[in-house]
Amino acid sequence: MVEVKIGLEIHCQLTGLNSKLFCPCQCDYQGEVPNTTVCPICLGLPGTLPLLNKMAVAFASMISLALGCKVQERIMFYRKNYFYPDLPKNFQITQYNAYGITSIGAEGKVDLGAKSIGIRRVQLEEDPGRLIYENADVNANFYTLIDYNRAGVALVEIVTEPDFDNPKDVRLFLDKVTSTIEHLGVCDIKLDGSLRCDVNVSLKEGKKVEIKNINSFGDVEKAIRYEITRQKTMSIREIEIKSETRHWDDARKVTMQSRTKEEEQDYRYFPEPDIPTIILGDQFISTIKTKMPELPDERKIRFLKDYALSDHVAKVLIDNKELADFFESTVKLYPSSPNEIAHWIISDLLGLIDDIKKEERSLLSGLRIEPKHIAELVKMIDQNKINRNIAKSVLSQITRTGEMPSYVLDKMNASLIDNESKIAEAIDSIFELEISAVRDAKQNPNAMNFLLGKVMQMTRGRADPKITLNLIKARLAKME
């Protein structure tokens, strides 16, 4: 098998800030009227100077620490010079490490269990504005509409070493980084465009191909798979693979050659003279460390220890902060069965959520479910007031109505049939109907399950399966 090398560049908007990276305009541009969250600074009007946001530096430091990076004592900003109509100054203020490490974080490491992924750097930079085309076909437009509301929003760019050799690990890594960012509270990952990812793919010894414009994390895996196949096919046919930038075509799910040639670019980086060298210093870094919230790895260890969850269950919960938080709130309400609660959340509740929502990572929005519902449901199961099958349908109803499980249960009049004579009546009629199955069951104990199923069907699931099975066994024994 040909060796593959994959590296990532993740852009994370610091939506947890109030203002943009270099000006006091509000950071949240979603749903705002075009060009209304703008000021002379983020529009790059002549004479304006960037005013670096203190909290953005703190957030980026937190991300760096969470990804195992060394936070630099002195940081600097650089200008990346290139023309593009979404760029108000025709340069982007970013960070750059070619002439000494001055980005906020560097040399980090993220543990994926079996292997670890190196973090080359974590840096702060500004987002450009947005170009809008009235006609979906770019070529058909005679002009472009520009909205600068996004221009100047703080981005943290996370650049990994090319340490991945398969798309699966990429997915694992992205899940972990996403959860980390959520736990830090620096970015609302549910917002459209708040997390973006570019990918570098190369075959062993081969040229590096960059893939941009991958809008959803779910497509990252697809894009990598496509690109590996494309490059492998080319190398089998002995076609030269060029170092280039390709775009992910969201509709057709393929990578496409970009129009602008990379070799024409020369970004002429140089230190941004309007922003002083920022001295972070030990005191700042130690203050940040004490303010760091619990991170996914720490939380997982705690979940394993405090709730005796399995590794897998803990991971699924923690990969999505929303689930982990939901779980803990539920356990607080009903501390007796954390494992049962976890299973109800990750298998039954997650089963009710469609894939699109999962991809958007907005799992519980739209469902009228709260921790108190799961807490009561699990408690009722523990007390044998309801069996699992009924609990499942109760759950599905709760998510639509928001009613309490006990109320739903009463309404369904579905209290468990624990009256043995009623079950016995049902068994009698099944034994009369399924003579051959009864015969089988006498020889093969596994066939008893068929009879159990039939009884459950007849009682519309209200019979206690344990009692029913015992009664069936007793009845069979009597026949011998």
Binding site for Zn ion (CB under 5 A): 23, 25, 39, 41-42
Q: Which is nearer to other proteins, 278 or 331 (CB)?
A: 278
For the bound state, the minimum distance from the C-beta of residue 294 to other proteins, rounded and expressed in Å, comes to 23
Choose among other proteins, Zn ion, none what residue 43 binds, the Cβ cut-off being 5 to 8 Å by kind.
Answer: other proteins
Choose among other proteins, Zn ion, none what residue 50 binds, the Cβ cut-off being 5 to 8 Å by kind.
Answer: other proteins
For the bound state, the minimum distance from the C-beta of residue 257 to other proteins, rounded and expressed in Å, comes to 14
Q: Which is nearer to other proteins, 4 or 42 (CB)?
A: 42
124 SS3 class:
strand
Please report how many Cα atoms fall inside a 13 Å half-sphere around the Cα of residue 4, on the Cβ side. Answer: 24
Residue showing tokens 């620490």: 65
Pair 399, 352: CB distance under 8 Å? yes
Confirm or reject binding of residue 49 to other proteins (CB under 8 A): yes
Confirm or reject binding of residue 185 to other proteins (CB under 8 A): no
Element (H, E) at 302: helix 296-307
Q: Which is nearer to Zn ion, 127 or 210 (CB)?
A: 127
Confirm or reject binding of residue 191 to other proteins (CB under 8 A): no
Confirm or reject binding of residue 81 to other proteins (CB under 8 A): yes
Confirm or reject binding of residue 105 to other proteins (CB under 8 A): no
Confirm or reject binding of residue 476 to other proteins (CB under 8 A): no
Binding residue (CB under 8 A) for other proteins from 67, 71, 91, 375: 91
Confirm or reject binding of residue 445 to other proteins (CB under 8 A): no
In angstroms, what CA-CA distances link 246 with 200, 211, 259, 376? Answer: 10, 5, 9, 52
Binding residue (CB under 8 A) for other proteins from 3, 30, 73, 99: 99
In angstroms, what CA-CA distances link 228 with 1, 159, 436? Answer: 12, 20, 57
Choose among other proteins, Zn ion, none what residue 471 binds, the Cβ cut-off being 5 to 8 Å by kind.
Answer: none
For 244, phi then psi, to 5°, come to -155, 170
Which string of x and - marks every residue 244-263 that binds other proteins (by CB under 8 A)?
A: ---------------x----
β-sheet bridge partners, residue 386: none
Binding residue (CB under 8 A) for other proteins from 30, 144, 286, 415: 144
Between CA 417 and CA 468 the distance in angstroms is 10
Between CA 16 and CA 56 the distance in angstroms is 9
Confirm or reject binding of residue 117 to other proteins (CB under 8 A): no
Choose among Zn ion, other proteins, none what residue 31 binds, the Cβ cut-off being 5 to 8 Å by kind.
Answer: none
Q: Which is nearer to other proteins, 31 or 47 (CB)?
A: 47
Choose among Zn ion, other proteins, none what residue 18 binds, the Cβ cut-off being 5 to 8 Å by kind.
Answer: other proteins
For 79, phi then psi, to 5°, come to -100, 130
Q: Which of 113, 245, 107, 105 is nearest to 175 (CA)?
A: 113
Pair 317, 345: CB distance under 8 Å? yes
Between CA 171 and CA 46 the distance in angstroms is 44
Choose among other proteins, Zn ion, none what residue 450 binds, the Cβ cut-off being 5 to 8 Å by kind.
Answer: none
For the bound state, the minimum distance from the C-beta of residue 141 to other proteins, rounded and expressed in Å, comes to 5
Confirm or reject binding of residue 148 to other proteins (CB under 8 A): yes
Binding residue (CB under 8 A) for other proteins from 109, 115, 204, 268: 268
Confirm or reject binding of residue 38 to other proteins (CB under 8 A): yes
13-32: contacts with other proteins (CB under 8 A): 17-19, 24-27
Pull the structure tokens for residue 137.
């076909």
274-333: contacts with other proteins (CB under 8 A): 274-281, 284
Strands 209-214 and 244-249: parallel
Confirm or reject binding of residue 447 to other proteins (CB under 8 A): no
Q: Which of 296, 317, 314 is nearest to 305 (CA)?
A: 314
Pair 27, 17: CB distance under 8 Å? yes
C-alpha torsion 175→176→179→184, nearest 10: -150
Binding residue (CB under 8 A) for other proteins from 1, 31, 136, 143: 143
Q: Which is nearer to other proteins, 147 or 219 (CB)?
A: 147
What angle, 0 to 180 degrees and rounded to 10, lies between the N-to-C axes of helices 296-307 and 321-333? Answer: 30
Pair 79, 270: CB distance under 8 Å? yes
